[in-house]
């Protein structure tokens, strides 16, 4: 598999080139570039099968480069790299059919999986060109994934197989199942066949799409496609419970060569279920004519959330999340894209605060997957699940301590840290020798008593700096330091920032 890497930061670019070479002997990096302009020339000359590219770069960004390649008809498979804050750039890339999106800093496992999926897509294309795909369903899947081009020969083959003419206008019904896809796909397929079986003269192909977690029906014959849309909407209103947690979309008026682009637009438009609910059929392009209000949330909610996280008040964290989610259902209509952008900002504020005060471990969060869940969400329920996941992570809080004696020692530290309680004093309260307690503490906690005490005080200092307006000398006193200057020096050694600078960064 021949690849090129386009990234303006030299260390990241060189690191990616080395890593890709190590992942498989079949991966060959045929060139690298530091911006979209150089990348464009490189792709034109090398003709790679895969582009790994950053989004934001000088001279020409990755998005512009991809748009030009798409217009030329020479866009290969693409893996996009981006920071979470470049949310909208990633969305635009996905509208062009880019499926692989990696969050910086790139995790080795995520890159490995993305390359594996791209490799499998390329294999499928080869099988398609060799004529392995024979049924109408297989052919349409190939067209929708871009593996097949609907040229005159293929159109004639489809007309013959389906008994239609080249002037056929297609419609699409899409039923999104989300996380329920794996265990509901077959049942939902039978249900859809039963529904359309009640409508005389309707002919369609049912195409399961595991990647998008939906069932797609390509309708190639119906007595009246407009009445079909109303008919499906009526069914949704009657049978809302049977589609609980999902979403449905409809589009009509497409020629065969327009099906792929139309499907991508329909799938993107179905995120409107976040704003409208799953009982509404999302009809494209009608949905684009809706008038929306600017979507913002009160910053006071974010402040309340940070205070609750710092104070370890799980009930108030839950309340702040509920209040945040309620901001988007107050009678005004907001664009789902803006709802997602607000959601990303709020969740990242929660994650960053949780990391800073030590109640969230960044490694266990898989922030790449977290961002993907938000970006790919098509229902309100999916956004609520992300909120519940983060709330659960916060509630895990501190690690479980196995040894009862160490639990008691830890409780005494938490109770008397402001007085500067020592190992000897705690050992005396527990009727143990300091040497024994120190050894057991290190074994159970993985750090010495002194390191734990300092880290605990620094965590409390972070809470007070983020969550209160106390002066620095007051914070120093509250965590057991009589000298504010000494406190500032210890804090900088621990965090790399003076307390005042830390407060400005995180408030």
DSSP class per residue in 297-346: --HHHHHHHHHHHHHT-HHHHHHHHHHHHHTT-SSS-B-HHHHHHHHHHH
User: Is pTM beyond 0.75 here?
Assistant: no
Q: Is the dihedral of CA 480, 485, 491, 494 positive or negative?
A: negative
Q: Give Cβ neighbours of residue 7 (< 8 Å, ≥ 6 apart).
A: 13, 16, 32, 34, 52, 53, 54, 57, 81
Provide the pLDDT for residue 127.
65
Report the pLDDT averaged over residues 111-128.
83
pLDDT in tens, 357-387: 667 765 556 777 788 888 889 999 999 999 9
pLDDT in tens, 311-336: 777 888 889 999 999 999 888 999 99
Report the pLDDT averaged over residues 253-280.
91
Name the percent of the chain lying above pLDDT 70.
91
pLDDT in tens, 126-166: 765 555 557 899 889 888 887 777 888 888 889 989 998 87
Please name which of 290, 293, 353 lies closest in space to residue 321, comparing C-alpha atoms: 353
Q: Is the pLDDT of residue 248 over 80?
A: yes
Report the distance separating Cα 117 and Cα 141, nearest Å. Answer: 16
**Helix, strand or coil, per DSSP, at residue 348:** helix
Report the distance separating Cα 126 and Cα 120, nearest Å. Answer: 10
pLDDT in tens, 54-68: 988 988 988 899 989
Provide the pLDDT for residue 85.
66
Q: Is the pLDDT of residue 401 over 50?
A: no
> Based on the number of CB atoms within 10 Å of its own CB, is 364 exposed (0-12), middle (13-18) or buried (19 or more)?
exposed
List of E strands, 192-246: 203-209, 214-221
Report the distance separating Cα 348 and Cα 371, nearest Å. Answer: 9
* Phi/psi at 293 (5° precision): -100, 155
Provide the pLDDT for residue 356.
74
pLDDT in tens, 196-208: 888 888 999 999 9
Provide the pLDDT for residue 242.
53
Provide the pLDDT for residue 398.
43
Strands 247-254 and 203-209: unpaired
């Amino acid at each position: 598999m021949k690849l090129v890497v386009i990234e303006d930061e030299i260390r990241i670019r060189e690191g990616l080139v080395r890593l890709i070479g190590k992942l498989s002997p079949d991966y060959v990096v045929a060139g690298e570039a530091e911006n979209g302009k150089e990348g464009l020339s490189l792709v034109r000359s090398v003709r790679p099968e895969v582009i790994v590219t950053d989004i934001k770069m000088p001279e020409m960004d990755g998005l512009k480069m991809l748009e030009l390649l798409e217009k030329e008809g020479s866009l290969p498979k693409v893996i996009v790299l981006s920071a979470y804050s470049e949310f909208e750039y990633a969305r635009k890339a996905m509208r062009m059919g880019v499926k692989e999106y990696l969050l910086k800093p790139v995790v080795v496992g995520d890159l490995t999986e993305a390359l594996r999926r791209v490799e499998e897509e390329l294999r499928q294309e080869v099988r398609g060109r060799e004529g392995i795909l024979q049924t109408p369903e297989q052919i349409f899947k190939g067209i929708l994934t871009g593996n097949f081009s609907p040229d005159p020969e293929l159109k004639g083959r489809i007309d013959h197989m389906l008994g239609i003419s080249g002037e056929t206008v297609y419609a699409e019904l899409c039923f999104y199942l989300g996380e329920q896809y794996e265990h509901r796909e077959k049942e939902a397929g039978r249900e859809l066949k039963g529904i359309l079986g009640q409508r005389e003269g309707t002919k369609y192909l049912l195409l399961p799409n595991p990647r998008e977690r939906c069932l797609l029906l390509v309708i190639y014959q119906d007595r009246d496609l407009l009445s079909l849309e109303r008919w499906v909407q009526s069914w949704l209103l009657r049978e809302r419970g049977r589609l609980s947690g999902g979403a449905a979309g409809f589009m009509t008026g497409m020629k065969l060569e327009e099906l792929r682009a139309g499907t991508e637009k329909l799938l993107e438009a179905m995120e409107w279920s976040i704003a409208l609910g799953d009982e509404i059929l999302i009809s494209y392009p009608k949905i684009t004519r809706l008038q929306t209000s600017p979507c913002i949330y009160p910053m006071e909610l974010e402040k309340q959330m940070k205070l609750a996280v710092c104070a370890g008040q799980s009930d108030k964290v839950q309340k702040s999340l509920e209040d945040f989610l309620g901001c988007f259902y107050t009678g005004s209509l907001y664009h789902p894209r803006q709802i997602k952008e607000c959601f990303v900002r709020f969740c990242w504020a929660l994650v960053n605060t949780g990391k800073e005060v030590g109640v969230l471990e960044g490694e266990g969060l898989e922030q790449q997957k977290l961002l993907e869940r938000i970006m790919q969400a098509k229902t309100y329920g999916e956004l609520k699940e992300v909120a519940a996941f983060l709330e659960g992570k916060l509630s895990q809080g501190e690690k479980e301590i196995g040894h009862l004696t160490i639990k008691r020692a830890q409780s005494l530290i938490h109770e008397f840290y402001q007085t500067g309680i020592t190992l000897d004093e705690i050992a005396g309260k527990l009727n143990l020798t300091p040497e024994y307690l120190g050894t057991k503490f290190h074994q159970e906690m993985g750090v010495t008593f002194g390191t734990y005490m300092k880290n605990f005080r620094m965590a409390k200092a972070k809470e007070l700096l983020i969550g209160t307006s106390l002066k620095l000398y007051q914070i120093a006193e509250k965590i057991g330091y009589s000298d504010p200057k000494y406190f500032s020096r210890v804090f900088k050694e621990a965090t790399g920032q003076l307390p005042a600078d830390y407060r400005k960064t995180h408030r």
